[in-house]
Structure 1
Amino acid sequence: MTVKSIDKDLDTLTLTLTAEFAAPVEKVWELWADPRRLERWWGPPTYPATVETHDLTPGGDVAYFMTGPEGDKHRGWWRITSVDAPTSLEFTDGFAHPDGTPNDELPTMAVSVRLVEQPGGTRMELRSLFDTREQMEQLIGMGMDEGLGAAVGQIDALLAA
């Protein structure tokens, strides 16, 4: 499995997933940069993602929804804050209402992605920073850590294709 660790640090309000892939940085970056490839792994296997808009430039937006086993749709959005292709991406990640507008009743988080070349491939660090301990605990209670691990766990198969 590609996921090496998922660390929850309530003191620093961070959830950090670390994964390693037997592929070059540029190939791993394409899984973020290409919306059709992103939607093949961003949702956990039982909640596949559909990317509706995808603008990975500072100030750009990504809008998507995940479809659950019962056909239920869960919308989300990103607001891109920084891009340094092919090694880093930063964005604000949030939930959305059925019409796609941001849902301010659920927490947002600042996400940073770092791709680092290492012998034999790429190390990816995906760090989510929360505003409060309560928000972090709320999203972990909703299964964020397990869902993220399951989603990233699909990447090896995509890189092998």
Structure 2
Amino acid sequence: MKKAFLFNFDVDKQNNQIKVERSFNAPIDLVWAAWTDAQILDQWWAPQPWVAKTKSMDFREGGHWLYAMVGPENEEHWARVDYIKIVPEKFFSGYDGFGDADGNLNPTLPRNKWENSFVEQGQQTTVNILLMFDTLDDLETIISMGFKEGFEAGLKNLDRYIASQFYLRKQNKPNNRARVSTYLNFPGNTEDAFLFYKSVFKTEFINGIRRFDDIPADPNQPPMAESVKKMVLHVELPILGGHILMGTDAPKEFGMTVSKGNNIYINLEPESREEAKRLFDELSADGSIQMPLQDMFWGAYYGSFTDKFGISWMIHFQNKE
């Protein structure tokens, strides 16, 4: 039985600090990726109905993340995180501050230092977060802006993201035969699109259409919205020459957004781990890595990136059980 999510939020006014402790029902590699991959951060970082929009991200010591919180009326509030220290899958720190779309900081608003530590405990991961402020006024300004409520809402988005986006990948291929597929993300009309493709190619879905309410219920998570339950979690359709078209809905209720660049991937499933690494290394050269190639908890050796020409790829080798 899964343990309840840990969530401790402590305001230490004497030392101008906020301490947050939060657990997730996922191994450390997935939780680390969710905090350090711009495409995943955009899916959960903002509290609904706001969404996060990354302009640029260079996750390395000395690099920075420039992003906006976009409101329901398309108003934008920009922020910049400057990374200080990174220890992969263990720790990263950085300075976070408000600014503009060009990354210029606003000196009239608080800037604070984040220190995030990641601790794996079996199939759960705990993230310990320390926010340090220069003055008590800065801390109280952030609290008055609704930081606790907004941050907690964003973390719940991440719970849903883990439950939905990674659940489908636990379903293993029946063999390790090489396969190429195209993976499509839709804002809620996946079923309409795939019924259309099915009528054109005159083929049948592989194992039918999997929906979000097929995910096993988890008492630690908020109830799933009725509007989401019948959306498509995963569908596969053979088209021509053995090529597979795959798809999923990206519900706005989970804080997800579909945009140019994250709506289509070429998904390569090679026959060996060695070939997976070769393809990843060579195709990603001079490109932008979104998730480093690594062993995942659903039994796959997996990574994703955008190549130097702007094309998005997934590499997925399913280990034999």
**AA paired with 2:25?**
A
| Greater mean alpha carbon deviation, residues 32-41 or residues 87-96 | 32-41
Scaled by the length of structure 2, the TM-score of the pair is 0.48
Structure with the larger RCO, 1 or 2 (CA within 8 Å, 6+ apart): 1
Q: Which residue of 2 aligns with 1:30?
A: 33
Q: What's the offset of the Cα at 1:93?
A: 0.2
Alpha-carbon separation, structure 1, partners of 2:92 and 2:101: 26
- Greater share of strand: 1
Scaled by the length of structure 1, the TM-score of the pair is 0.94
Alpha-carbon separation, structure 2, partners of 1:41 and 1:126: 17
Q: Which residue of 2 aligns with 1:84?
A: 87
Secondary structure in 2 matching 1:66: strand
Q: Which residue of 2 aligns with 1:93?
A: 96
**AA paired with 1:149?**
E
Q: 2:67 aligns with which of 64, 71, 74?
A: 64
The aligned length equals 161
**AA paired with 1:36?**
Q
Q: Which residue of 2 aligns with 1:118?
A: 121
CA RMSD of aligned residues (A): 1.4
Q: Which residue of 2 aligns with 1:10?
A: 13
Indicate conservation of the 8 Å contact 1:17/1:127, yes or no.
yes
Deviations along 1:32-55, one digit per CA (max 9) or x if unpaired, are 221100111111122210111111
Q: Which residue of 2 aligns with 1:143?
A: 146
Q: What's the offset of the Cα at 1:97?
A: 2.7
Q: Which residue of 2 aligns with 1:158?
A: 161
Aligned-residue sequence identity (percent) comes to: 29
Indicate conservation of the 8 Å contact 1:2/1:156, yes or no.
no
Alpha-carbon separation, structure 1, partners of 2:17 and 2:155: 18
Deviations along 1:40-71, one digit per CA (max 9) or x if unpaired, are 11111222101111111111010000111221
Q: Which residue of 2 aligns with 1:129?
A: 132
Alpha-carbon separation, structure 1, partners of 2:6 and 2:104: 32
Q: What's the offset of the Cα at 1:3?
A: 5.5
Alpha-carbon separation, structure 2, partners of 1:156 and 1:3: 12
Q: 2:45 aligns with which of 25, 42, 50?
A: 42
Q: Which residue of 1 aligns with 2:58?
A: 55
Is there any run of 5+ residues in structure 1 with no aligned partner, and where? none
**AA paired with 2:118?**
L
Alpha-carbon separation, structure 2, partners of 1:70 and 1:148: 21
Secondary structure in 2 matching 1:103: coil
Secondary structure in 2 matching 1:146: helix
Is there any run of 5+ residues in structure 2 with no aligned partner, and where? 166-321
Indicate conservation of the 8 Å contact 2:27/2:122, yes or no.
no
Select the structure of larger CA radius of gyration.
2
Alpha-carbon separation, structure 1, partners of 2:5 and 2:39: 21
After the TM superposition, list the runs of 4 or more consecutive aligned residues in structure 1 that deviate by more than 3 angstroms.
Answer: none
